[in-house]
Amino acid sequence: MFTKILIANRGEVAVRVIRACKEMGIETVAVYSEADADALHVVMADESYCIGGPLSRDSYLNMDSLVTLAKRTGVSAIHPGYGMLAENADFAKMCEDNGIAFIGPSPEVMRQMGQKEIARRIAESAGVPVTPGSGTLADVAEAEAAAESIGFPVILKARAGGGGRGISVVRSREEIAGAFDAVRKEAMSAFGDDGIFLERYLESVKHIEVQLLADAAGAVVILGDRDCSVQRRNQKLIEECPAPALSENLRRAMYEAAASLAKAVGYTTVGTVEFLVQGETFYFMEMNTRLQVEHSVTEMVCGIDIVEWQIRTAAGVTIPFSQEEIVGGKHAIECRICAEDAKSMMPQAGRVEMLHVPGGVDVRFDSALYQNCTVTPYYDSMLGKLVVCADTRDGAIRKMKCALSEFVLVGVANNRELHMRFLEDGEFVGGRYDTGICRRVL
């Protein structure tokens, strides 16, 4: 087992990883930017070091500085969290070349699954259904020809994309040129790779993801599924586990497809396979080769510490439990609390003047917030994740409404009231919602 880990991230996920390491008896090294000098993860870690200015490119994305510090502090592994460098195969390879374990799959697997059009081909070869799509597009003319062949609407995607960045829905030939340039620019800015492709865009679908854990011996265990269909501008707002309104036959088929894909690429540690679902048909969307923001809802239902087992499997520990031993029967819901203006929905900054976190049985708030801390404008607007679990979905909805009504955050505008609107929506309560729910509720 690793004895000392550097967490190459910040905020809520850095705090989450530090907590798991403390429980496992592993020493931790935190990194922080000049803007995060007073951040919670800085004081929680055993050691903390400033690695650059406020902008992510000058600090958290500086691969040379991270590896240099890792070697200087004598860590045996680096945990990338999510976002930042979590799916950067070059960073994983740099860690490997310097004798430092990267807590994630191999660089080769990350590179394969991170290139979306390559991942589609692998999924097809593993017998996983995919939507019609193209390879990497050289120019607008090639994009227009591919779109005409596939049929509108289509969606342009960054091949190295993720997190809702670098995508655009196109409904006619006239829209392609502008969307092509915009997506390519965003792809280069966000991922350092301007390669893009397109695939058929499916309307009124459910966004379902399957959480898996795999070890170096080839074992793959499915820990559960999540419905992530409540999205605004391709950013998830609410997640729940298990996904409502899925037949057991469909759920079983998706689990088998996710496991088949993981085995086909020799996957290890924690990963998520995302699908689009229409009726009883599902299609492969992408594979996230990292810890997901919404892993918490799955933990609440299956009772397994996903971060702990991500670390253990990265260290070569084999999974000691079988698929049959994974418990279920409960229901969990997660609301992402974000710093944003209620009207404009633009990200906000400020000082936390008052903070009250709800409590009770199976109520959890994963966050790096504390009284009088400052929320800066430099990073993602998510402040934390409010998660509840109950014996039934109706019970989880009631519990989440109670938790939201108790949650108090003064000094930083946030989206608490927005979540209450969703939880009182008839379509959401009935579990019949799809990715179009935000257009209707908002």
Q: What's the burial of 318, exposed, middle or buried (CB within 10 Å: 0-12/13-18/19+)?
A: exposed
In order along its 442 residues, the chain shows pLDDT tens digits of 999 999 999 999 999 999 999 999 999 999 999 999 999 999 999 999 999 999 999 999 999 999 999 999 999 999 999 999 999 999 999 999 999 999 999 999 999 998 887 898 999 999 999 988 888 899 999 999 999 999 999 999 988 776 678 899 999 999 999 999 999 999 888 777 888 999 899 888 999 999 999 999 999 999 999 999 999 987 899 999 999 989 999 999 999 999 999 999 999 999 999 999 999 999 999 999 999 999 999 999 999 999 999 999 999 999 999 999 998 899 999 999 999 998 888 999 999 999 999 999 999 999 999 999 999 999 999 999 999 999 999 999 999 999 999 999 999 999 999 999 999 999 999 999 999 998 888 8
What is the fold, at CATH topology level, of the domain defined by 4-103? Rossmann fold (3.40.50)
Helix count and strand count (H, E) for the chain: 15, 20
Rounded to a whole number of angstroms, the CA Rg of the chain reads 21
Write the CB contacts of 333 (distance below 8 Å, at least 6 apart in sequence). Answer: 238, 239, 240, 297, 387, 388, 396, 397, 400
Contact 423, 397 (CB under 8 A): yes
Instruction: Provide the pairing of β-strand 374-375 with 27-32.
Output: unpaired
Residue 163 has a pLDDT of: 65
Q: Provide the pLDDT for residue 354.
A: 97
d(CA 28, CA 222): 29
String of DSSP letters for 213-237: EE-TTS-EEEEEEEEEEEEETTEEE
Residue 166: the pLDDT is 86
- Give the residue among 347, 117, 87 at the shortest CA–CA distance from 191: 87
The yes or no reply on domain 206-441 and CATH 1.10.3720.10 is no
Q: What is the CATH number of domain 132-200?
A: 3.30.1490.20
Structure token digits, residue 11: 């905020």
Q: Provide DSSP, 264-304.
A: HTT--EEEEEEEEEETTEEEEEEEE-S--TTHHHHHHHH--
3-state DSSP assignment of residue 10:
coil
Q: Where are the domains of the chain?
A: 4-103, 132-200, 206-441
pLDDT at 362: 97
Tell me what pLDDT residue 133 has: 86
- Angle at which helix 11-24 crosses helix 306-314, to 10 degrees, equals 70
Of 129, 116, 127, give the one whose Cα is nearest residue 287. Answer: 116
* The two domains 4-103 and 132-200 share their CATH topology (first three levels equal): no
Q: How far apart are CA 230 and CA 209, in angstroms?
A: 13
Active-site residue list: 290
- In this prediction the pTM is 0.92
For residue 128, give Cα distances in angstroms to 123, 135, 223, 281, 317: 5, 18, 19, 11, 28
Instruction: Write down the pLDDT at residue 374.
Output: 96
